[in-house]
Each structure stands twice: as C-alpha cells, then as structure tokens.
Amino acid sequence: GVETDPRALVGATVSGVHFRFKAGEFFQVNPSALPVLVEHVGLRARAGGRATRLVDAYCGGGFFALSLARHFERVAGVEVSVDNVEAARENAERNRISNAEFEAGEVEALFEPLLARDAEGYAPETTTVILDPPRKGSSAAFLEQLFAFGPARVVYVSCDPATQARDAAFFVEAGYVLREAQPVDLFPQTRHVECVCTFDRLPPNGEAADLPPLEPSPTATPLLS
C-alpha cells in the first residue's frame, strides 16, 4: 500500500540489506531496478580492489554505504538530515554491519574530519567517494573540499544528467578524467534517467592511458567508455 503519513516508518530490502526509514525522507525509487544500480555502483566503487575505504556523501538512510559495506574495510556516511542519520545507524545495527559510521552535518564540511582521520585509513589513494546529491547537483563549496581531499576515484550518481554534466566539467578542471557514464532506467516510460559517472584522478604524469582499465560491468553498454 501507499503510506501517506511522512512520519510513519516504512521498509525496503535491497540486495539483502533491510532498510527502515521515515516515509517522508528520501529513498531510491523503483525497487526492481535498485539491485542493478547497487551492483554497478559497487563494482566501480571497489576500483578493482584498490579501494579499501568508502565515503558516502549525501548518504540518506545509508543506502549505498550499507549495501556496499561488505566490500570495504571501513565506510563513512554523511547526511544533512538528522532523521536520516539516525535511520542509517539503526539500519546498520539491524543488519549487523559494524564497519560503517554515520554523521549528521553539512556535506560541505565532510572532508575536514576525514583529513584529520588519515591515521585511521581514510587516505585519498585508497578511498572511493560516492556522490548522490539532490537534483540540483553538488555545491561549489562541497566540490572544493572534495578536490582538496583528492580521492583516487569518485562515483557520481545523479537523477539529473544536466547538473551532473555541469559538475563533470569541474572534475575535469580539477585533474580528473571521466572514465564512464552509465545510465540506469529507474524511471521507465518517462524522460528521466539515473546516471552513474565514474571519475578517476589522473596520475602524476597526466596520462589517462596509464590508468588501470575498468572491469566489465554486467549492466548495459555505457554512454561513454
């Protein structure tokens, strides 16, 4: 059925992870297609096994962080909604996921504590950042801190390819290369599409040809590869 009370708790299970969250809070749509999205994002986030840490920005109730936690030694999620952070922590406990931590706060301030926690393993060379911002895309303040942190890989998930393309230009200016753009049909029979872009930081010599090849994805042929 349809829940009309935004404060009511509702549930969903994706890729074996059980989520509970308030009906009025954001959660990905189209549960039949979500396993495909999670599988592809996870494949790219792991970076062929080179990434051991995952940072989930705009993490909501912990959707990507918890769905992918089993592939990483440590996972950190940040979210502006206190309710979502509480739900993410409860979802981690419900699923007995002990390697994920969640903090409430402005996403623009995420990377300052991460830089301070390098001793705990959040080093740029072994960290992937997943971005799943609102339709308006990422703010300039957030991107500035992201690029200062300099993760080796960023997986950018967006429901608005136009703002994603705008932000992609900033990634290129900051020394990243767009390796792949993969659409996922979360909104069938509409003009909308979810798009997953994979960015890698260029090596010191600036040659994209020296980056490791992407692993084959079980999803459809990408728009750009």
Closest by CA position to 84, among listed 58, 61, 56, 57? 61
d(CA 151, CA 79): 19
Question: Does the pLDDT of residue 185 top 70, yes or no?
Answer: yes
DSSP element (H, E) containing 105: none
3 is a catalytic site residue: no
- pLDDT above 90: residue 163: yes
Q: How many helices and strands, by DSSP H and E, does the chain display? A: 6, 9
Mean pLDDT of the chain: 83
Token pair listed for 56: 């989930």
Are the beta carbons of 137 and 167 closer than 8 angstroms? Answer: yes
Single out the catalytic residue among 59, 108, 159, 195: 159
Establish whether 194 is a catalytic residue.
yes
Q: List the beta bridge partners of residue 79.
A: 104
Average pLDDT over every residue of 120-149: 89
What global pTM score does this model have? 0.87
pLDDT reported for residue 225: 42
Phi, psi of 78 (to 5 degrees): -135, 145
Q: Kindly tell me if the per-residue pLDDT of 1 is higher than 80.
A: no
The predicted structure's pLDDT at residue 5: 59
Give the DSSP H or E segment for 143: helix 140-149
> What integer pLDDT is reported at residue 115 of this predicted model?
63
Q: What is the pLDDT of residue 224?
A: 46
Q: Which of 59, 108, 194, 195 is catalytic?
A: 194
Over residues 22-75, the pLDDT tens digits come to 655 665 666 667 788 889 999 999 999 999 999 998 888 888 999 999 999 999
